[in-house]
Amino acid sequence: MSHIGINDLKRHAASTEAAVREAVDRVLESGWYVLGRENEAFEEEFARFCGTRHCIGVANGTDAIELGLRALSVREGSRVVTVANAGYYTATALGSIGAIPVYADVDGKTRLMDLTHLADLIAAGGIDAVVITHLFGLLHDMEAVLRITDPAGIPVLEDCAQAHGASRGGRRAGSFGAAASFSFYPTKNLGALGDGGAVVTQNSDIAQSIRRLRQYGWEAKYRVSTSGARNSRLDEMQAAILRAKLPFVDSWNSKRREIATRYSTEIRNPRVGCPQSLGEEYVGHLYVVTCDDRQGLAGHLSAMGIGTDIHYPVPDHRQAAVSEANSAIRLPITEELADKILTLPCYPELTDHEVTRVVAAINEW
C-alpha cells in the first residue's frame, strides 16, 4: 500500500517543471539576481491578482507581517490584537518589534478570530492595530471586521499566508485591510522553491514605507531615513518562479476545494468533525478536522499508510518561551481546539483514489 503524505512537493514540482525551468534559465541569463525585472514584474502581477495597487516582495512571510505592522506605525509597546492558534508567527513578528500581543479567542466552527471578543477588546481601549489571520485558507468576513475597527481608527493587517486567492463578494484576500502579508513558503498555495513573502496594500504611503523597510531604510542608495529596517528582499530567482506558478493558483485552489468538499460530504464518522465553509472564501490550504481522540485517529490513519499533522498543537500564549508571563490568559475555545485538531492530506496533486482511501479509513475507524 503506497503512503499518502500530508503533502507531496515532488509531485507539485513535476506539475510545473517546464515553466519553472524556463523561469530559472531566464534569471541565469539575465545576470541580475536581486530587485530586478523579475521582482518588478511579479509585484505588478501579484498585486493585480490580489486586487491591490501595490505589492512589495520581501524575504519571507514573517518579515512580511513585521514590516507590514511597522508601516502601520506599530512600535515598541504597541498593543496588537491577534489570535493564538496560528503557529506563533505573528507573535514572532511582534516580539521583533517589541509590541505586545493581545489575544482574542476564536470561533469554534471557523477557527477564525471571534469578532465579539475583538469588539470587547477594542471597546476596552488601548489597541493600536489588529492582525486578522485567514487560517487554513478561510477568508474571514472582513467587512464585519472593518465595521468594528474602522470607527475606532484601528488599522488591520490581513495575514494571508494560507489564503492566496480566497475571495468574498468578488474581493480577494489581502484587498480589505490597510495592508496584508503573504508567505511563499514551498507548501503554500503559491509557493517558491525556498522562502519568500510579500506585503500588498492599496495605500501608496504604506507601500513606500515598506520598500524602505525591506532595504536598510534607504530613501536613496546608502541614505537611511527609516528606522526599524532590515535586509529583506525577494530575490530574482524566487520572483521568477512565483511568476511561473501564479497562473495556476486558481485551478489549484479549485482542486483543493474539490478535495475538501469530498471529505466534508463523505466522511460520516460521528467522532470526526469536518469544516463546512467550502465556498470561494476557502482555498483548502489545510483541511483540519476535530476529534476527541486525536491520537487514536492519527494512529489508525498512520497504520493505513496515511499521513497527518497538527496545525497547531500549542497555542501562542502557552508556548514555553512565554507561558509564565501569560499564565493568566484564558482562551477556552483556542485551548480546546488545540487538543482536538488534526490535519488531513489536501493538495492539488492528490488523486481521487487517494481521497477515497482517506475517507474510507476514517469511516471505518
* 29 inside domain: yes
Which of 247, 266, 288 is the last residue in one of the domains? Answer: 247
Residues 238 and 176 grouped into a single domain: yes
Statement: the pTM of the whole predicted model exceeds 0.85: yes
Q: Same domain, yes or no, for 294 and 279?
A: yes
In a shared domain, residues 234 and 259: no
Residue 124: per-residue pLDDT = 97
CB 358 within 8 A of CB 306: yes
Clarify whether residues 316 and 227 are in a common domain.
no
Inter-residue contact 64 to 86 (CB < 8 Å): no
The CATH number of the domain where 255 resides is what? 3.90.1150.10
**201 and 277 inside one domain:** no
- Residue in 317, 178, 191 with CA at minimum distance from that of residue 248: 191
The tens digit of pLDDT for each residue in 94-116 reads 999 999 999 999 999 999 999 99
Domain end point (choices 220, 247, 274): 247
- Both 187 and 136 in one domain: the answer is yes
Q: Above pLDDT 70, what percent of the chain?
A: 100
Do 173 and 50 sit in the same domain of this protein?
yes
Domain finish residue from 183, 213, 247 = 247
Q: What is the CATH number of the domain that holds 53?
A: 3.40.640.10
Q: For residue 175, count other CB atoms closer than 10 A to its CB.
A: 21
Residues 232 and 322 in one domain: no
- Count of structural domains within the chain: 2
For residue 315, give its domain range: 248-363
Percent over 90 (pLDDT), the chain: 99
Q: For residue 82, what is the enclosing H or E element?
A: strand 79-83
CB 267 within 8 A of CB 363: yes
pLDDT of residue 1: 79
Within 8 A by CB and 6+ apart from 209, the residues are 70, 71, 226
Average pLDDT estimate for 268-274: 97
**Residue 308 pLDDT greater than 80, yes or no:** yes
- Half-sphere exposure of residue 229: CA atoms within 13 angstroms, side-chain side: 19
What band does 228 get if pLDDT is binned at 50, 70 and 90?
very high
Within-domain flag for 107: yes
What are residue 79's DSSP bridge partners? 100
**For residue 250, is pLDDT > 90?**
yes
**Which tens digits make up the pLDDT trace of 86-96?**
999 999 999 99
Which CA distances in Å does 23 have to 49, 115, 189, 195, 349? 19, 43, 19, 17, 22
CA angle in degrees (0–180, nearest 5) for 302-308-312: 140
pLDDT score for 315: 98
* Residue 3 domain-assigned (yes or no): no
Please check whether residue 1 lies inside any domain of the structure: no
In a domain, 332, yes or no: yes
Q: In this structure, are 13 and 76 located in the same domain?
A: yes
Q: For the stretch 48-62, what's the b/e string if a residue is b when 16 or more beta carbons lie within 10 angstroms of its beta carbon?
A: ebbbbebbbbbbbbb
Q: Are residues 227 and 95 in the same domain?
A: yes
Q: Which pLDDT score, from 0 to 100, does residue 278 have?
A: 84
Would you say residue 190 has pLDDT above 90? yes
In a domain, 41, yes or no: yes
Same domain as 260, residue 241: no
Q: Which residue has the cell 508601516?
A: 71
pLDDT at 270 over 90: yes
**pLDDT (average), residues 255-272:** 97
Residue 255 has pLDDT above 90, yes or no: yes
* Residue 149 within a domain: yes
Residues 253 and 229 in one domain: no
Compute the mean pLDDT over every residue in the chain, rounded to the nearest whole number: 97
pLDDT of 338: 98
Q: Residue 277 pLDDT more than 80?
A: no
Cα–Cα distance measured from residue 149 to residue 130, given in angstroms and rounded to the nearest whole number: 8
The x, y and z cell numbers of residue 24, run together, are 530559472
The answer for residues whose C-beta is within 8 angstroms of residue 268's C-beta and 6 or more apart is 363
Answer yes or no: is 2 within a domain.
Answer: no
